[in-house]
Structure 1
């Protein structure tokens, strides 16, 4: 049974996660406040697990000069064991390209890459609160061009 507190706690975790991305708060161990140690992620730029998933997130955000992530309509379902939950939310993700990307693309290049998407997550209740154990990000629509990725 999903309680109001569980819904609030999970929704707050989602909001804090997006704020951390946009503030680029990637101090050592930052992922522990959001993810389990064995988290699995699937995003438009690839799949990753554990510490690689955390690093993958940092690299993806670093491809842009700035970002703004907004979550809405967080739906939460706590399992009968009260130790697991699922959550999904809509997201609007605005990415501002680095000046180097804009120079490479030339005059008139769109400075923004915007994505409308859906997140689906599985969560575990830990001594530190709810943590994401699986997170899938699905782009529903995009405008602009993705970043220039160099090997």
Structure 2
């Protein structure tokens, strides 16, 4: 592998790791840990609803996901396109949201993809914008 290819492969791996840390933080309910992956002016976008900045993002995650007994997010192998210190990412995802572990009828499963833009900073890659796109849902509507 040539040095430039190796550098790109390392960056792609680092970007994919940010996505993995984001979904793990959601499932572990470490809201501030998930929000810390965003830039100070980073955006979490749900359609027209733009949540800006780590503190607002953490508050929204807490409000949306605390209603569930637990969640489990799976992220597929991301497609990463690098443009210098900017990465554009698309990754398929499935999220399971469990309200009552004893009642399967209360489980909501959604599938779709995450679209994100990340920027390389001195601290590593950070999310500038994250947008979940839901393609399908099984079970009750999500809480947000």
TM-score, normalising length: structure 1 = 0.81
Deviations 1:60-105 (A, max 9, x none): 11121100000002011111xx211111100000000148xx9xxx
Q: Distance in 2 between matches of 1:132 and 1:9?
A: 12
Q: 2:60 aligned with 1:64, yes or no?
A: no
Aligned residues of 1:63 and 1:98 also touching (Cα < 8 A): no
Shift of 1:147: 4.8
Structure 2 residue runs of 5 or longer lacking an equivalent are none
Q: Which runs of 4+ in 1 moved over 3 A?
A: none
Which one of the candidate residues 48, 53, 66 is aligned to 2:51? Answer: 48
Equivalent residue, structure 2, for 1:141: 136
How many residues are aligned here?
138
Q: Distance in 1 between matches of 2:13 and 2:143?
A: 37
Equivalent residue, structure 1, for 2:42: 39
Which one of the candidate residues 114, 124, 127 is aligned to 2:122? Answer: 127
Shift of 1:30: 5.1
Q: Distance in 2 between matches of 1:124 and 1:30?
A: 16
Q: Secondary structure at the match of 1:137?
A: strand
Equivalent residue, structure 1, for 2:87: 85
Q: Distance in 1 between matches of 2:117 and 2:143?
A: 31
* Aligned CA-pair RMSD: 2.4
